[in-house]
């Protein structure tokens, strides 16, 4: 039991530290994920939405500190209680998400290691069993050093995590795992499985049929519905509210969805993604964006236009807000209404800018790190 406890202690501690550091690279991503969990059709806790970033930072840093405390053997009962509380809560959350198919990615390891809801649930079940073993073998968990030294280490970890979080929130994640990272091609990310010569994901429809004469219910998939000619049996009526989609075969799915530049009801996506140089200005919500940064971006856009770089902006604000903003800020370049989730994925800060070259991201900046036009030209 002693050696098993030490092994589990190391694995659980290391996993919590790894999970926390991966999410600490992009705390805004977990914040957006919490928005999904707090939605009316999931946990219905929208009153927590204004605090999602603070909650994300608290969970992330606590995860790292608990991992360190476990490895160092600090306050073993308190550490195990907090670990148990976290894992019980997240096991419930991932099960709820998986069973009801509410949130398709728990965000356990950020964008670095995307997990399906069921994979996340099974991971949490295994972690729950591991923590149970630690409870049973807690007498073998001993402090590795003096209490004062360990508390100093934990304080140092807290300060380091806080500084790291502040840095990535002010600028951008150190490592971008999303399909809009520098070096990635948006055009390629939008290509379908057929365009890439790969097998696509296959879904089938599951019908629930009701016999009008007997009231009997029958469940059949789309293949059987056609092959057995259920559609010819007039007494069997499809119950639309019970019809559902089922995954038949997992295949390739393009990582980029819902990305388009719609301007005056015209799809200009292909034109901009084929252009030799485009400054893509992103502001998911103009009304909450940094005002000084938007003014600076307006000046940068003018310089870009004078040097042959096209400019396009994207926002999820309303048409009225966009029109008023363009008038008040004298932005003469086009601005497209885009999906907010897509814009959150493109760049974490509000606003931010990307430099595109024939659809490839060759540069990305937070609003506090805006480049000069010379920097942009040097990248082309």
Instruction: Write out pLDDT tens, residues 106-127.
Output: 555 556 677 777 888 888 899 9
Note the residue count of the chain: 380
Residue 107, pLDDT score: 56
Residue pair 22/112 in contact by the 8 Å Cβ criterion: yes
Residue 109, pLDDT score: 59
Residue 102, pLDDT score: 66
What CA–CA distance (Å, rounded) separates 199 from 291? 46
CA quadruple 340, 342, 345, 346: dihedral sign = negative
Residue 112, pLDDT score: 65
Residue 21 phi, psi (nearest 5): -70, -35
What is the percent of the chain with per-residue pLDDT over 90, rounded to a whole number? Answer: 45
- Ranked by mean pLDDT, the top range of 89-93, 236-240, 280-284, 286-290 is 280-284
pLDDT tens by residue, 193-223: 888 888 888 877 888 888 888 888 888 887 8
Domains and CATH numbers, the chain: 2-170 (no CATH), 202-249 (no CATH), 262-379 (3.40.30.10)
Return mean pLDDT, the chain: 87
pLDDT tens by residue, 166-175: 999 999 999 8
Residue 24, pLDDT score: 93
How would you label 220-247 residue by residue, b for 16+ Cβ within 10 Å and e otherwise? bebeebeeeeeeeeeebebeeeeeeeee
Residue 236 phi, psi (nearest 5): -100, 120
Exposed (0-12), middle (13-18) or buried (19+): which is 112, by Cβ within 10 Å? Answer: middle
Q: Which of 306, 310, 313 is nearest to 334 (CA)?
A: 313
| 3 state SS of 218 | strand
Which token pair is 165?
């979080």
What CA–CA distance (Å, rounded) separates 120 from 101? 13
* E strand or H helix at 248: strand 244-249
Kindly report the CA angle at 234 between 233 and 238, in degrees rounded to 5? 90
What CA–CA distance (Å, rounded) separates 256 from 103? 18
Cis peptide before 351 (omega within 30 of 0): yes
Higher-scoring residue by pLDDT: 73, 37: 73
Higher-scoring residue by pLDDT: 98, 28: 28
pLDDT at 270 over 90: yes
DSSP string for 69-124: HHHHT-SHHHHHHHHHHHHHHHHHHHHHHHHHT--S---TTTTTS---HHHHHHHH
């Amino acid at each position: 039991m002693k050696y098993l406890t030490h092994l589990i202690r190391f694995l659980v501690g290391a996993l919590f530290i790894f999970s926390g550091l991966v999410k600490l690279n992009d705390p805004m991503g977990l914040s957006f994920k919490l928005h999904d969990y707090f939605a009316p059709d999931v946990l219905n806790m929208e009153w927590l939405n204004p605090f999602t970033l603070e909650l994300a930072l608290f969970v992330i840093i606590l995860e790292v500190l608990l991992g360190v405390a476990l490895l160092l053997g600090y306050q073993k009962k308190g550490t195990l209680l907090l670990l148990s509380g976290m894992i019980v809560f997240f096991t419930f959350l991932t099960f709820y998400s998986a069973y009801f198919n509410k949130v398709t990615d728990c965000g356990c390891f950020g964008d670095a290691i995307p997990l399906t809801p069921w994979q996340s649930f099974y991971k949490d079940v295994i972690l729950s069993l591991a923590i149970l073993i630690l409870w049973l073998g807690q007498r073998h968990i001993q402090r590795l050093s003096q209490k004062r030294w360990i508390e100093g280490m934990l304080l140092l970890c807290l300060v380091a995590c806080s500084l790291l979080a502040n840095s990535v929130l002010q600028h951008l994640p150190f490592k971008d795992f999303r399909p809009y990272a520098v070096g990635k091609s948006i055009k390629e990310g939008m290509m379908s499985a057929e365009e890439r010569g790969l097998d696509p994901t296959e879904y089938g429809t599951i019908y629930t049929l009701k016999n009008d004469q007997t009231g009997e219910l029958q469940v059949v998939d789309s293949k059987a519905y056609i092959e057995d000619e259920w559609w010819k049996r007039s007494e069997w009526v499809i119950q639309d509210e019970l019809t559902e989609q089922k995954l038949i075969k997992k295949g390739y799915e393009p990582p980029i969805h819902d990305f388009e530049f719609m301007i005056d009801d015209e799809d200009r996506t292909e034109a901009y993604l084929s252009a030799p140089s485009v400054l893509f200005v992103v502001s998911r919500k103009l009304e909450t964006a940094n005002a000084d940064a938007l003014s600076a971006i307006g000046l940068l856009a003018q310089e870009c236009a004078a040097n042959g770089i096209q400019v396009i902006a994207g926002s999820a604000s309303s048409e009225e807000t966009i029109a008023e903003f363009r008038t008040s800020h004298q932005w003469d370049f086009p601005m497209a209404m885009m999906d907010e989730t897509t814009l959150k994925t493109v760049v974490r800060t509000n606003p931010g800018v990307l430099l595109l070259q024939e659809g490839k991201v060759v540069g990305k900046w937070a609003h506090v790190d805006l480049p000069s036009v010379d920097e942009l030209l040097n990248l082309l």
